[in-house]
Amino acid sequence: MDARIAAQVSAEDPDALYRDRENLTSARHAAALWAARLAANPRDFDAAYKLAQARYWLGTNGLPQPERKAALESGITAARAAIAVDANRPEGHFWLAANMGALAESFGLRQGIRYRGAIKDALLTTLQIDPGYLDGSADRALGRWYFKVPRLFGGDNKKSEQHLRKSLTYNPNSVISRVFLAETLADQGRVAEARTEAQSAIDAPLDPDWAPEDRRFKEEAKRLLARLR
């Protein structure tokens, strides 16, 4: 296949487009293709959960700030569509929690209260179905949940640390898990340990499947490490 034909095929392949998600045009196009496939066939599980994933990315990284809330809300809708097709697979539950979590973290106390319980339930369901899904991402997200939620509503840094360390048993090089663990440790006053985790995040190799996310969190780790000096 010559380069011109390969480029044409790639332009209509949402998976290939999504791999180029740091390019906003590619990420939007991937989401549009998955949305069209889901509209044509509401039983298309892959289109539903991949659309939820793409909208999570757009709502947390790609889009201008005024468009992000709507992207995450539509990501919730897509994740629920995936669950409606097959509730016994982890993808819909995980990306439901991810989109809700981004809304809760980025759009104020009301959103946090609204989604707090549903996020935890979706992550626990993911763990029940497949604890190793995406290298322990449900444990990582639960670790973040326990860190972010106020203690009055169930937050607990010890549980946060437990879940984050569990996620690292699936992938010790997880940049995101290392950053989250560093923040949890720092919040407990364990500064030396937090610095070690932040440095480990900086030093970890990029995961080829998650390089855009890893690059973002390596920058977070650098900022955290500077604050902890």
Same domain assignment for residues 79 and 56 = yes
Domain boundary among 130, 159, 187: 130
Per the domain annotation, does 137 fall within a domain?
no
Same domain assignment for residues 34 and 66 = yes
Same domain assignment for residues 117 and 5 = yes
Same domain assignment for residues 99 and 7 = yes
Task: Spell out the residues 6+ positions from residue 94 whose beta carbon is closer than 8 angstroms to its own.
Answer: 122, 123, 126, 133, 134, 137, 138, 141
Same domain assignment for residues 71 and 92 = yes
Same domain assignment for residues 186 and 158 = yes
The overall longest dimension of the chain from CA atoms, in Å, is: 60
CA distances from 171 to 22, 63, 165, 185 (A): 23, 29, 10, 19
Same domain assignment for residues 125 and 150 = no
Per the domain annotation, does 136 fall within a domain?
no
Domain residues for 113?
A: 1-130
Q: pLDDT tens string for the chain (229 positions)?
A: 344 434 443 458 999 999 999 999 999 999 999 999 999 999 999 999 999 999 999 999 878 888 999 999 999 999 999 999 999 999 999 999 999 999 988 766 566 577 889 999 999 999 999 999 999 999 999 999 999 998 988 999 999 999 999 999 999 999 999 999 999 999 999 999 999 999 999 999 999 999 999 999 999 999 999 999 8
Same domain assignment for residues 118 and 188 = no
Reported pTM: 0.91
Same domain assignment for residues 103 and 24 = yes
Contact status, residue 118 vs residue 106, Cβ threshold 8 Å: no
Task: Spell out the residues 6+ positions from residue 187 whose beta carbon is closer than 8 angstroms to its own.
Answer: 147, 157
Same domain assignment for residues 49 and 17 = yes
